[in-house]
Chains A and B, each alone.
Chain A
């Protein structure tokens, strides 16, 4: 029986091969998208899952009134370990705060992140050097490991895993360090590094004012986390009070609490951060699922449309004694075979698209992995789509009454056509939502690109640098003035400055007081010419000037938001107090968007002198456009003299490119929506194409009769198009409010955004209607052009 059913199925598919190809092809494309999304979802939700402690690891975070952070003081780790027996072990890690140059002879390596970890943290976080994890002891204070790739760069011919000597910094620095071996950095982890600096203990000399570390806990199984969280908060307040270094009042302490964030949250939705990545991932998954549903709807729709052709077969088989269950199974098998073929095609497609996908999402996914979750996910997906696409048609087809269908004048009932139309409308609804979404994302991105951000990042070169240019001199820092003088001698360099933070990155936060009102605001430590280099607009007062002696002692410039925050009237000349200094406000600048468009401009203070500030290492140069290449070449040549500490390692980036990274997420979203909109509309149109073909085929006799009775071609085109036209119109009307709500929500994630435009709604309607009319008309043309006599003779 299976053999005969298979023959019937194959011959049927072959007879309708055009439609079969559309159906299977459409499904394959959608499945490919779904497979990619599934792989991405699995990847994103399984960061650090290979860690055997995965379920019991928590990071200790601190919640301040203004923000939450995972940075905390090192001594607290010991306090937790000593107080709570349910904590099995406590580890400390600290990210590298600056870029490091490592050399072996001519081979140079620039590391971005050397992670400092203590022995316990390495154990908790499953950080394993190639030659095993050993605790530094005796003379050896730190064991340094470099990632395999880094080792390869420094020692291309190295085969063994023996320790090696390397130089730190410029070749004239004279610092040498032993690298104990290599370590594999797991890209699929929250802890990605170029190297590890392993210590027996970290932060032994730190106090409770130095929030530089992250504390990781490994809890014993079945610990009540909420309870422990409360206890740790109490302990933290107690320790702060006991070691009262920053003299916080009881009220201030009460406002501070700690939280435990599981390792599984860190990648997508850390409590000290935002859950945008998680939301994006969910949105992406929903998107992938919807595309698949659309393709399945095509299947359902066409199978039901084809029902009339299969009705006779069902009737005959039933007359011969086939059970309904046998027939249901037969149709499900047929659809399963098609879905199976689609799955194979989808895998091939996914493999072809994967490089672009990996590039877009900055991941390294691969389909052909033995340990891949796809091995169990694919059969599941296959069964799922077979059921979604097949169960309804199988029930409808197998439910035909033989006494009715064998009479030969069978037509599918009205109820089916309602369902078919409903499904078609649903497909177009989704397509319309995606089109509107895409158009609105485009508008917002266009706005972001064209909008004045308040400063000019073009032709600004950012130079990476190790020398500290703080003023007054601290921790061996030097004055920037001689460096600036040398830089300005290079033709093309218009201005040079140094600052602690650059636009596009995070600023520091500290407490400042104006007229007895205290607030935590952003601070940036700058040097002369900072505002000039970035072309920031002055609102009142003046910029920092060499001619004013006080500027390097106690002058401050604040932005408009800071003026508003403290509600200062006539700010210039007033005093703002912070870090034990009474700063005199000498100027107010207009707000500029250092953080892009998503967050509102923060109240910010700019000072040259700041004992509590950060290291000034970020050199910014404004260079004339047509002399850019020459100036960069000259900089590279002269850098060892200008900045001996970096020596020959001259590295730079263009500020506009750095700042542009803030738009990367939106551009990613734009690409995804572009692909999704294209896919949904394509698959929906494919379905429509095949569907229209069936409808016109079914109406050939009607069309012939109408033509004989004198209908013109145009009238017949209108007749066939009208029902589809109405359906697409309904789909548009239904999706408008949905798209409105969704896009509005998305726009609300931006502090600076466009007003929701009406145009995308109109455009989506025009696009879908136009595509529908074209698609249907292509089908209708055949029926219209056919000789009516042929159609009628057939009876």
Chain B
């Protein structure tokens, strides 16, 4: 589904140039769950941002199914993103002024879904995520794990083809973290493609394939046998 070729990204400040991505090639199949690992500063977040169309690389090619995404303008990128992608962040990034229901509803509004259908979709996902009794609460009134469930719900409500997760368990304790990982696995099993950046090899063990980055290069790729076997 995703074909990334020779991706290069350089951060420039007045004094230094930092090469964040240095000729990355990456293919992701539909329905795959890919983890990206590597030390701090290896470029994994940058790669995720580029994949999410939040950042523009200097050169290379990024094909999603058959569409070349790097030549799109801002408005087209926004449109593509809201139709095809969902995001989960380390620090949840829920809007504090909106309730759980309203937070989840937000992407549907930007996708111009009519009110009645919005309501139905949000209620469905709230039920699925097991947060029905929380739907009128504000983010600050929830625990970290609950907040991340809401964030996952928000990423999924538009039924995206691709979910991008940036250290989704980074701010959670291990039991809440596991809950979230299980949630992502369930999601993956229903056919959603997931790309996740993580520090934790425990989290990575939930995925089909683990890609290791260092200094902007892919240094190794590992098929996660246990998980694949499970699948089979």
Contacts and interface: CB of A to CB of B under 8 A. Distances in A.
A316 B95 CA distance: 8
A210 B52 CA distance: 92
Query: Among A8, A319, A322, A402, which residue has the most Cβ atoms of chain B within 10 A?
Result: A319
Contacts of B102: 4, 7
Nearest to B80: A321
Nearest to B49: A403
A317 B96 CA distance: 13
A321 B98 contact: no
Interface in B78-132: 78-79, 81-83, 87, 89-91, 93-98, 102, 105-107, 109-111
Nearest to B50: A403
Interface string A387-427: 00000000000000111001110000000000000000000
Contact of B106 (A4, A312, A402): A4
B79 A406 contact: no
A86 interface: no
B93 A316 contact: yes
Interface residues of B, number: 29
B78 A4 contact: no
A491 to B, nearest CB: 83
Contacts of B97: 7-8, 11-12, 15, 313
A541 to B, nearest CB: 85
B98 A315 contact: no
Interface string B40-55: 0000010001001011
Interface in A265-313: 312-313
B105 A4 contact: yes
Contacts of B94: 316
Contact of A322 (B49, B89, B110): B110
A403 B11 CA distance: 13
B20 to A, nearest CB: 11
A303 to B, nearest CB: 16
A1 B90 contact: no
A323 interface: yes
Contact of B107 (A11, A15, A321, A324): A321
B168 to A, nearest CB: 13
A317 B98 contact: no
Nearest to A8: B97
Contacts of B12: none
B222 interface: no
B110 A321 contact: yes
A12 B98 CA distance: 10
Contacts of B111: 321
Contacts of A321: 78-79, 81-83, 107, 110-111
A323 B78 contact: yes
A406 B93 contact: yes
A718 B95 CA distance: 36
Given A402-B54, A403-B55, A320 B93 contact: no
B39 to A, nearest CB: 17
Nearest to A323: B78
Contacts of A312: 93, 95-96
Interface string A218-261: 00000000000000000000000000000000000000000000
Nearest to A325: B75
B54 A8 contact: no
A609 interface: no
B52 A320 contact: no
Contacts of A11: 97-98
A315 B55 CA distance: 12
Contact of B87 (A1, A319, A322, A407): A319
Contacts of B81: 319-321
B74 to A, nearest CB: 7
A318 interface: yes
A318 B107 CA distance: 10
A314 to B, nearest CB: 10
Interface string B16-58: 0000000000000000000000000000010001001011000
B66 to A, nearest CB: 21
A317 B106 contact: yes
Contacts of A318: 54, 78
B90 A408 contact: yes
Nearest to A309: B96
Contacts of B45: 407
Nearest to B77: A321
Nearest to A1: B109
B99 to A, nearest CB: 9
Nearest to B154: A320
B93 A315 contact: yes
Contact of A1 (B75, B83, B110): B110
A402 B110 CA distance: 16
Interface string B140-163: 000000000000000000000000
Contacts of B110: 1, 317, 320-322
Interface in A183-209: none
Contacts of B105: 4
Query: Among B83, B90, B95, B105, which residue has the most Cβ atoms of chain A within 10 A?
Result: B95
Query: Among A1, A324, A403, A408, which residue has the most Cβ atoms of chain B within 10 A?
Result: A403
A15 B45 CA distance: 33
B97 to A, nearest CB: 4
A324 B105 CA distance: 19
A160 to B, nearest CB: 68
B189 to A, nearest CB: 25
Interface string B60-83: 000000000000001100110111
Contacts of A320: 81-82, 106-107, 110
Given A4-B102, A320-B107, A313 B95 contact: yes
A781 to B, nearest CB: 27
B116 to A, nearest CB: 15
Query: Among A12, A316, A318, A324, which residue has the most Cβ atoms of chain B within 10 A?
Result: A316
Nearest to B74: A324
B213 to A, nearest CB: 17
Contacts of B79: 321
Contacts of A323: 74-75, 78
Contacts of A316: 93-95, 106
A322 B98 contact: no
Nearest to A320: B107
Given A7-B98, A8-B95, A12-B97, A319 B106 contact: no
Contacts of A401: 54-55
Contacts of B75: 323
Contacts of B49: 403
Interface in A6-27: 7-8, 11-12, 15
A316 B103 CA distance: 10
A264 to B, nearest CB: 52
A319 B95 contact: no
B161 to A, nearest CB: 14
B132 to A, nearest CB: 21
Contacts of A7: 97-98, 102
Query: Among A317, A321, A407, which residue has the most Cβ atoms of chain B within 10 A?
Result: A321
A8 B96 CA distance: 9
A15 B89 CA distance: 25
B109 A406 contact: no
Interface string A556-596: 00000000000000000000000000000000000000000
A11 B107 CA distance: 20
Nearest to A408: B91
A15 B140 CA distance: 13
A7 B106 CA distance: 12
A664 to B, nearest CB: 55
Given A312-B96, A401-B55, 10 more contacts: A4-B102, A4-B106, A8-B95, A8-B97, A316-B93, A319-B87, A321-B78, A406-B89, A406-B91, A407-B45
The 8 closest A-B pairs by CB, nearest first: A321-B82, A11-B97, A320-B107, A403-B54, A408-B91, A403-B49, A8-B97, A321-B110
12 contacts: A1-B109, A4-B102, A7-B97, A8-B98, A11-B97, A315-B93, A316-B95, A317-B106, A319-B81, A320-B107, A321-B107, A321-B110
